Chain A
Amino acid sequence: MIPTKEEMLEALAKRHGAQMQKKLSDASVAVCGLGGLGSNISIALARAGVGRLHIIDFDNVDISNLNRQQYFPDQLGMPKTEALKQTLARIAPYCEIVSDTVKLTQDNIPLLLKEEPVICEAFDSPDQKAMLVNTVLETFPEKFLVAGSGMAGTYSANLIHTRRVAGRFYLCGDETNGVAEGEGLFASRVLVCAAHQAHMIIRLIAGETEC
């Protein structure tokens, strides 16, 4: 038997404080890209008791994802949205999950993200990262945007940081080390960046706008 919604909320409120938990329960976050960053960010937010997550990815779970992304070998071939929904439902059964199995483009972002107060960029490709950031900043200057860039290799985890670029745009990562020949992604370092992004989002939900 899984706990009731009230029991889970009470347990969260005991740890986070009732006021903070109310903010988290009322919050909604869009996670764009469900790879090493997005799958881990979604799980951190669901565990914190964020009330609603909008998860978006066009891709299926691949064997090459298992070194860092929160999927399981028995989920290979499934859309990432469906696979992550299964996992999130086990972790936080009362978190509302809305999913879109679609590739985000500058044409569909204005429609798909228009209701979202907080947007998390969690793509893999640098062109896609830039596309999302530019489109969101141009279309929705009033929204919070938390992006990630630079987490590859075995460099020090301490190089990964969060900074407020301007206004409501935050950037996490070392901003330097991308995927290259011989420079792969390790779960540990990708998780550091994912944790920076998830934590900045939790701070924004709490009303803290500094890094």
Chain B
Amino acid sequence: MVKINGKEQDASGKTIAELVSEGGYKTERVAVELNLDIVPKSKYTDTVVKDGDSVEIVGFVGGG
């Protein structure tokens, strides 16, 4: 199981790009941390998550 934004999900083997898109986020509006390290946008398509990983997807909304 992979922890995504605090919830355990059966997502082992998926890429960060897939998790972002399945979560309904737009790539240009997110920051993603994998096990507390930032994942560069250029690595979204080839970073694969595995059991025990913790992923935090922060989606930004407009206003300031």
Interface residues of A (CB under 8 A from B): 33, 35-38, 122-127, 129-131, 133-134, 137-138, 141, 147-152, 165-167, 169, 171, 173, 175-179, 185, 190
Contact = CB atoms under 8 A, between A and B. Distances in A.
B31 interface: yes
B33 interface: yes
Contacts of B36: 166-167
B29 A151 contact: no
Contacts of B64: 33, 35-38, 122-124, 129, 148, 151, 190
Given A126-B62, A150-B63, A179-B63, 10 more contacts: A127-B60, A130-B60, A133-B60, A138-B40, A149-B60, A166-B56, A169-B33, A173-B61, A175-B61, A185-B63
Interface string B9-41: 000000000000000000011110100101011
Given A134-B38, A134-B41, A138-B40, A179 B33 contact: no
A172 B40 CA distance: 22
A165 B33 contact: yes
Given A130-B29, A167-B36, A179 B56 contact: no
Nearest to A150: B61
Q: Which 4 A-B pairs have the closest CB atoms?
A: A178-B61, A137-B38, A126-B60, A124-B64
B61 A127 contact: no
A179 to B, nearest CB: 4
B56 A152 contact: no
Tell me the interface secondary structure of chain B in the complex: mixed
B58 interface: yes
Contacts of A131: 28
A127 B27 CA distance: 9
In the complex, which of the residues B33, B56, B60, B64 has the most CB atoms of chain A within 10 Å of its own CB atom? B64
Nearest to A176: B61
A127 B28 contact: yes
In the complex, which of the residues A123, A125, A166 has the most CB atoms of chain B within 10 Å of its own CB atom? A166
A107 B45 CA distance: 23
Nearest to A177: B61
Contacts of A38: 64
In the complex, which of the residues B33, B40, B62, B63 has the most CB atoms of chain A within 10 Å of its own CB atom? B63
Given A134-B40, A138-B38, A167-B36, A178 B62 contact: yes
Contacts of A149: 58-61, 63
Contacts of A171: 58
